[in-house]
């Protein structure tokens, strides 16, 4: 799973692909997502050993293992805190985070707002399939009201969360959506998210071929999807982006909803500044206990 | 002259009682005395009644002590609220505000007749000398100096320094209040002589700090570059300290959105190659449990400090308890052995915290430091520590040759596999909470699972042979033994001294490594032992029970334990020891003569 460092331009998509065989069901949307990630990474060109790819638990969270990056397939819902720890410990790394809708908006939902308000430079990719696939078909936080699943046999009595509107509300600087039904556009938004200097969120409608419904499959996406670019949407317009995001669950818009034209400072850039300011005031470590001399 | 002086003071919020205590312990630390100061506040978070107690001695002090030698009450209502902390006995000198209008033979301490009760017009003196009753605490300091002869010059210097920022008028008025107190004491001598010996000649100034700040300093010394936690009493000061100091060393402190995120970020930082820590208390430990398991299976070093408080659940957040040992040792699903260490004092928190980082790095495992509220929040004088005595361990990195065919979880003889980190060319691997083979690939194979479990458990084994993580004191061949840990070990140590003076043959074992249980160390220690107690601050006696899981504990060893917030005193340990020693004497038909 290791990679020999090479000059920048030489990293091809295949260099980011590991030897592990995905365990996903044939036809799963996540196959397309991982291909799009390979393409985006080769476009960005960072060597695999300078990339940390963190996930939680779920079908989609297997994804770091299918890349040659340093991967971390962690526990359910905690990919974002772990990724922040990695990025703050070594800001030179490119840090990707991936997971499903349950990981990001149910068990780990509390972390999203905080990763965003800290503006740690992470790219967070959610593979949203409106179902719990790994545990065989239970209700997810993005399942539609009325959805019949093995835990909602009479139909869901809850409204789904709207991931796009949530993250826009939390203040994310980059918010996009894609589908493996349009691989070129998907790879392009992932690349743009990686290049965005700050927290970037990409929601990917990645269908569950086993437990999903027909209208959620890639075939349906091909006819339903509408690119925001074709609608002349201006990604600098936050209010319009929120307006479009309200259509989540009804319309499949792809592309960039919002890109902050004046991104704020990242946590790690503020930290670097603080280090530079305070470094000269450090006692030598062997004399650290002099801090406790009574005075 | 006595060997130590225990002073307790209480007043209303704004009386500056705690501030006076801080001035006093600072002054005695400068003069080279040993001392411990604890604070206690009323039920309000701020602004309510407050109290502090100090123990001062020319010799090392190991715990805050029991009954007061000197009690200072600025008013009775507030003083009586601290009945548990400020116990008055037959030898106590009670100094109180005469404005309370209480006659010396009428002081409201049910069933207690103190040695003397001395009303002093503290408020009137403050007004007379300083023009304000806000100088009451300075008058009290003058009285203590006058009557007990401690730290006069250092206190005066401290008062000058403290008020210098507030203008020359305040310096002068407080100096007058201080001198007024001293003169009042000179003119009204006490009947009791509670003076203590001066510090040994040439005694140097001590360091002065509490266990939480000491833990933070030790982490920085050990090379910790990342801390993330969530505010929780009584551990928060660790994060507060590091949020001031760690940036200077290029490290980062992240106040996380919750306890889980705190340890999550720490796991991430460790994966990225940095020494990292979190700190919390019981409820936070409960929340961190899942990610502790992740660090175990992903073999990532980290230090997790649990400053124990009363539990379960919210329990008693501001009081000390030692009831989280079961949790520290066993709160994991799966086959996990996670090292648990405990410091016995503020000073000891330095070495134990450094050791925790060393063990974490060497064995690629989370390590839990079980501090407790008592150690964490008490101010203690600390003899200068020679930091060059401590060696620092770095995790084993793969060599260039190993990187050519790198296998992250390679099963080695020691069970420890070289660990790479993102940014290291050729070291790429998948860390995971899912079981994995040596290369890091996920697996459900029972055979691989067994081998990896065996590797992860085997690598910890050498820790059990670390005899340096145990302190043994007393008569090595004694038939009677005490075992104690954490802050209570200081109480047991003092009991050992007292019992020794009474001629009782006794020894003490203090484990700083609580888990895994070092069977050999205990077996050797118990070899001579017929009777004894495991002394600890919990209802069940958790160390006692853990020992019985792993060893043949002699039948005569019993738990001596109390729930948190109920002080254990040396006197009551000695009393228990005396009782059982007599029984032992009868059993053996031997005589235990006092030593000449």
Label each residue of A255-286 as H, E or C.
Answer: EEEEECCCCCCCHHHHHHHHHHHHHHHCCCHH
As a residue count, chain A comes to: 295
Complex ipTM value: 0.97
Q: Average pLDDT in the B516-537 region? A: 97
- Domain count of chain A? 1
Give the right CATH number for B208-389 from 3.40.50.970, 2.130.10.30, 3.40.718.10, 3.30.70.260. Answer: 3.40.50.970
Q: Is the preceding omega at residue B288 within 30 degrees of 0, hence cis?
A: no
Contact A104/A60 with Cβ under 8 angstroms?
Answer: no
Q: Which of B209, B220, B268 lies nearest to residue A292, judging by beta carbons?
A: B209
Q: List chain A residues with CB under 8 Å of B245.
A: 291
The answer to whether the peptide bond before residue B247 is cis (omega within 30 degrees of 0) is no
Angle at B107 between CA B104 and CA B112, to 5 degrees: 110
Instruction: Give the position of tokens 């989540």.
Output: A248
Tell me the mean pLDDT in the region B60-70. Answer: 93
HEC string of B530-579 equals CEEEEEECCCCCHHHHHHHHHCCCCCCEEEEECCCCCCCCHHHHHHHHHH
Q: Taking CB atoms and an 8 Å limit, are B268 and A274 in contact across chains?
A: no
B336 min Cα distance to partner chain A (Å) = 17
Reading the block at residue A276, the tokens are: 């530079």
Q: What is the mean pLDDT of each run of 10 residues along chain A (295 residues)?
A: 57 96 97 98 97 97 98 98 98 98 97 98 98 96 97 97 98 98 98 98 97 94 97 98 98 98 98 98 97 94
Q: What is the CA radius of gyration of chain A?
A: 20
Q: What phi, psi does B121 have (nearest 5°)?
A: -75, 70
Identify the H or E element spanning B348.
helix B346-363
A5 versus B254: which is more confidently predicted?
B254
Range of the domain at A258: 8-264
Residue A81 C-alpha, separation from nearest chain B C-alpha, in angstroms: 5
From the list B499, B559, B500, B568, the residue with the least C-alpha distance to B532 is: B559
Phi, psi dihedral angles at B392 (to 5 degrees): -115, 140
Strands across the sheet containing A226-227: A226-227, A253-259, A174-178, A200-205, A123-128, A94-100, A51-55, A70-73, B430-432
Optimal mutation site among A72, A99, A113, interface B, most CBs of chain B within 10 A: A72
Which residues from chain B sit within 8 angstroms of residue A110, using beta carbons? 257-258, 261
Across the interface, whether the CB atoms of A84 and B429 are under 8 A apart is answered no
The three state secondary structure string of A189-240 is HHHHHHHCCCCEEEEEECCCCCCCCHHHCHHHHHHHCEECCCCCCCCCCHHH
The CATH number assigned to the domain holding A128 equals 3.40.50.970
Q: How far apart are CA A249 and CA B384, in angstroms?
A: 66
Q: Kindly tell me if the per-residue pLDDT of B279 is higher than 50.
A: yes
CA distance B310 to B319: 6
Give the span between the Cα atoms of A204 and A31, in whole angstroms.
12
If you measure CA to CA, which chain A residue comes closest to B221? A285
Distance (Å, whole) CA A201 – CA A189: 10
Please give the C-alpha separations between residue A215 and each of A131, A205, A209, A222, in angstroms, as whole numbers: 14, 12, 11, 11
Mean pLDDT in residue range B74-97: 94
Q: Residue A285's closest chain B neighbor by CA?
A: B221
- Please list every residue in chain A whose beta carbon sits closer than 8 Å to the beta carbon of residue B206: 294
**What's the pLDDT at B595?**
45
User: DSSP letter string over B21-74?
Assistant: HHHHHHHHHHHT-EEEEEEEE-SSSSSS-EEEEEEEESS---S--SSEEEEEES
Helix (H, G, I), strand (E, B) or coil at A163: helix
Q: Average pLDDT of chain B?
A: 95
Residues 6+ apart with CB under 8 A from B326: B542, B545, B546
What φ, ψ does residue B411 adopt, rounded to 5°? -80, 110
On whether any CB of chain A is under 8 Å from the CB of B226, the answer is yes
Q: Which residues, listed in sequence order, are joined to residue A200 by a DSSP beta bridge?
A: A123, A174
Q: How far is CA B195 from CA B6, B268, B397, B412, in A?
A: 11, 55, 58, 63
Q: Using a CB-CB distance cutoff of 8 angstroms, which residues of chain B are in contact with residue A88?
A: 226, 252, 254, 265, 269
User: Is the pLDDT assigned to residue B593 strictly greater than 70?
Assistant: no
Given its phi and psi angles, is residue B14 left (phi above 0), alpha (psi -120 to 50 degrees) or beta?
A: left
Q: A interface mutation test: which of B164, B422, B424, B441 has the most A CBs within 10 A? A: B422
Overall average pLDDT of the B555-571 stretch: 94
The whole-number pLDDT of residue B583 equals: 81
Residue recorded with tokens 């090379």: B223
Given the candidates 2.40.50.1020, 3.90.1150.10, 3.40.920.10, 2.40.160.60, the CATH classification of the domain at B5-187 is 3.40.920.10
pLDDT given at position A4 = 57
Tell me: the pLDDT tens digits for B320-341? 999 999 999 999 999 999 999 9
Residue B88, burial from CB neighbour count under 10 angstroms (0-12, 13-18, 19+): buried
Asked if residue B245 has pLDDT above 50, the reply is: yes
Which stretches of B149-229 are DSSP H helices? Answer: 152-164, 168-187, 211-222
Report pLDDT for B104: 94
What confidence tier does B201 reach under pLDDT thresholds 50, 70, 90?
confident
Domain boundaries, chain B: 5-187, 208-389, 396-465, 467-588
DSSP string covering B124-165: HHHHHHHSSGGGHHHHHHHHHHHHH---HHHHHHHHHHHHHT
B373: pLDDT strictly greater than 50: yes
Whether residues B387 and A288 touch (CB distance < 8 A) is answered with yes
- Are the beta carbons of A289 and B250 separated by less than 8 Å? no
pLDDT at B41: 82
pLDDT band at B587 (very low <50, low <70, confident <90, very high): confident
Give the Cα separation of B422 and A209 in Å (integer): 34
State the helix-helix crossing angle for B136-148 and B122-130, rounded to 10 degrees.
110
Q: Which residue of B has its CA nearest to A267?
A: B254
Q: CATH top-level class for B467-588?
A: alpha beta
Per-residue confidence (pLDDT) for residue A178, from 0 to 100: 98
Beta-carbon count within 10 A of B454 CB: 13
pLDDT at B585: 75
Q: Residues A134, A63: contact at Cβ < 8 Å?
A: no
Could you give the CA distance from residue B436 to residue A19 in angstroms, rounded to a whole number? 15
pLDDT of residue B43: 64
In the prediction, which pLDDT does B84 show?
Answer: 85
pLDDT band at B45 (very low <50, low <70, confident <90, very high): low
Q: Are strands A70-73 and A51-55 parallel, antiparallel or unpaired?
A: parallel
Number of other residues whose CB lies within 10 A of the CB of residue A21:
9
Residue B2 has pLDDT above 70, yes or no: no
pLDDT at B1 over 50: no
Contact B257 A111 (CB under 8 A): yes
Residues B262, B235 contacting (CB under 8 angstroms): no
Within 8 A of B441 by CB-CB distance, chain A residues are 20, 65
pLDDT at B580: 87
For chains A and B, CB pairs below 8 A equal 215
* pLDDT 10s digits, B444-501: 999 999 999 999 999 999 999 999 999 999 999 999 999 999 999 999 999 999 999 9
Instruction: Print the SS3 string covering B503-532.
Output: CCCCEEEEECEEECCCHHHHHHHHCCCCEE
Provide the pairing of β-strand B507-511 with B531-536: unpaired
Hey, CA dihedral for B235, B241, B242, B243, is it positive or negative?
positive
With contacts defined as CB-CB under 8 Å, which chain B residues touch A75? 290-291, 293-294, 433
What kind and span of H or E run contains B6? strand B5-11
pLDDT, tens only, B169-182: 999 999 999 999 99
A114 to B256: CB separation less than 8 angstroms, yes or no: yes
The share of chain B scoring above pLDDT 70, in percent, equals: 97
For residue B301, how many C-alpha atoms fall within 13 Å in the half-sphere facing its CB? 31
Burial class for B404, CB neighbours closer than 10 Å (0-12, 13-18, 19+): exposed
Contacts of A50 in chain B (CB under 8 A): 422-423
Task: State pTM to two decimals.
Answer: 0.96
DSSP H or E segment with residue B118? strand B116-120
Residue B592, pLDDT above cutoff 70: no
Distance CA B308, CA B372 (A): 4
Q: Residue B67 has which token pair?
A: 């009954």
Q: Is residue A18 part of a domain?
A: yes
d(CA B44, CA B583): 48
């Amino acid at each position: 799973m290791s990679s020999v460092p090479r000059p920048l331009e030489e990293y091809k998509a295949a260099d980011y692909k590991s030897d592990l065989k995905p365990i996903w069901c044939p036809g799963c949307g996540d196959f397309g997502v991982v291909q799009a990630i390979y393409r985006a990474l080769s476009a960005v060109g960072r060597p695999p050993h300078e990339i940390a790819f963190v996930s939680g638990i779920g079908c989609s969270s297997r994804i770091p293992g299918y890349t040659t990056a340093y991967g971390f397939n962690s526990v359910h819902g905690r990919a974002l805190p772990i990724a922040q720890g990695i990025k703050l410990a070594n800001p030179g790394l490119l840090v990707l985070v991936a997971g499903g809708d349950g990981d990001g908006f149910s068990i780990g939902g509390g972390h999203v707002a905080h990763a965003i308000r800290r503006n740690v430079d992470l790219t967070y990719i959610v593979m949203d399939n409106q179902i719990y696939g790994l545990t065989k078909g239970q209700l997810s936080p993005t399942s539609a009201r009325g959805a019949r699943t093995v835990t909602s046999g009479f139909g869901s009595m809850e409204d789904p969360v709207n991931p796009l509107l949530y993250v826009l509300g939390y203040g994310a600087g980059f918010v996009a959506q894609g589908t493996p039904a349009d691989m070129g556009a998907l790879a392009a938004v992932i690349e743009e998210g990686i290049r965005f200097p700050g927290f970037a969120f990409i929601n990917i409608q990645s269908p569950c071929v086993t437990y999903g419904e027909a209208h959620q499959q890639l075939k349906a996406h091909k006819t339903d999807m509408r690119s925001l670019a074709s609608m002349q949407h201006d990604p600098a317009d936050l209010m319009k982006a929120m307006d479009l995001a309200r259509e989540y669950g009804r319309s499949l818009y792809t592309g960039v909803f919002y890109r902050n034209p004046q991104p704020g400072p990242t946590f790690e850039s503020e930290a670097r500044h603080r280090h530079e300011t305070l470094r000269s005031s450090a006692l030598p470590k062997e004399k650290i206990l002099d801090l406790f001399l009574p005075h | 002259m006595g060997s130590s002086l225990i002073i307790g003071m209480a007043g209303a919020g704004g009386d500056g009682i705690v501030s006076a205590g801080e001035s006093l312990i600072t002054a005695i630390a400068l003069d080279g005395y040993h001392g411990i100061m604890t604070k206690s506040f009323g039920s309000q978070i701020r602004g309510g009644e407050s109290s502090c107690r100090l123990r001062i001695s020319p010799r090392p002090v190991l715990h805050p002590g029991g009954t007061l030698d000197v009690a200072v009450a600025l008013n009775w209502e507030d003083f009586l609220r601290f009945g548990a902390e400020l116990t008055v006995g037959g030898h106590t000198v009670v100094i109180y505000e005469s404005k309370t209008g209480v006659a010396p033979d009428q002081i409201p301490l049910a069933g207690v007749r103190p040695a003397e009760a001395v009303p002093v017009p503290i408020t009137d003196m403050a007004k007379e000398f300083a023009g304000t009753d806000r100088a009451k605490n300075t008058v009290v300091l003058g009285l203590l100096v006058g009557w007990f002869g401690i730290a006069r010059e250092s206190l005066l210097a401290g008062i000058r320094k403290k008020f210098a920022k507030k203008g020359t008028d305040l310096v002068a008025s407080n100096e007058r209040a201080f001198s007024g107190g001293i003169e009042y004491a000179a003119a009204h001598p006490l009947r009791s002589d509670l003076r203590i010996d001066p510090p040994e000649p040439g005694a140097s100034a001590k360091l002065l700090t509490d266990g939480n700040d000491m833990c933070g300093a030790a982490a920085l010394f050990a090379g910790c570059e990342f801390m993330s936690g969530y505010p929780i009493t009584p551990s928060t000061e660790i994060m507060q300290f590091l949020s001031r100091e760690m940036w200077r060393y290029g490290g980062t402190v992240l106040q996380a959105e919750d306890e889980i995120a705190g340890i999550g970020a720490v796991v991430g930082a460790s994966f990225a190659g940095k020494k990292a820590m979190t700190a919390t208390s019981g409820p936070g430990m409960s929340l961190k449990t899942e990610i502790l398991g992740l660090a175990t299976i992903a073999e990532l070093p980290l230090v997790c400090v649990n400053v124990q408080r009363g539990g379960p659940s919210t329990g008693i957040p501001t009081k000390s308890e030692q009831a989280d040992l079961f949790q520290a040792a066993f709160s994991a699903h799966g086959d996990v052995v996670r090292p648990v260490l405990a410091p016995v004092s503020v000073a000891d928190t330095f070495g134990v915290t450094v050791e925790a980082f060393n063990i974490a790095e060497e064995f690629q495992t989370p390590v839990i430091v079980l501090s407790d509220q008592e150690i964490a929040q008490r101010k203690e004088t600390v003899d200068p520590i020679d930091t060059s005595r401590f060696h620092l361990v770095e995790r084993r990195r793969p060599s260039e040759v190993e990187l050519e065919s790198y296998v992250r979880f390679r099963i080695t003889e020691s069970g420890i596999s070289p660990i790479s980190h993102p940014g290291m060319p050729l070291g790429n691997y998948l860390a995971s909470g899912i079981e994995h083979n040596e290369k890091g690939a996920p697996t459900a194979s029972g055979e691989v699972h067994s081998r990896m479990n065996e590797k992860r458990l085997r690598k910890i084994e050498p820790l059990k042979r670390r005899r340096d993580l145990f302190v043994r004191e007393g008569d090595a061949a004694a038939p009677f033994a005490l075992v104690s840990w954490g802050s209570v070990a200081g109480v047991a140590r003092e009991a050992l001294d007292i019992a020794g003076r009474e001629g009782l043959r006794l020894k003490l074992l203090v484990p700083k490594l609580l888990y895994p249980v070092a069977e050999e160390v205990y077996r050797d220690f118990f070899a001579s032992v017929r009777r004894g107690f495991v002394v600890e601050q919990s209802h069940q006696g958790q160390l006692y029970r853990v020992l019985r899981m792993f060893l043949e504990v002699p039948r005569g060893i019993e738990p001596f334990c109390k729930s948190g917030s109920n002080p254990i005193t040396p006197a009551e340990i000695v009393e228990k020891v005396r009782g059982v020693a007599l029984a032992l004497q009868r059993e053996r038909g031997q005589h235990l003569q006092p030593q000449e």
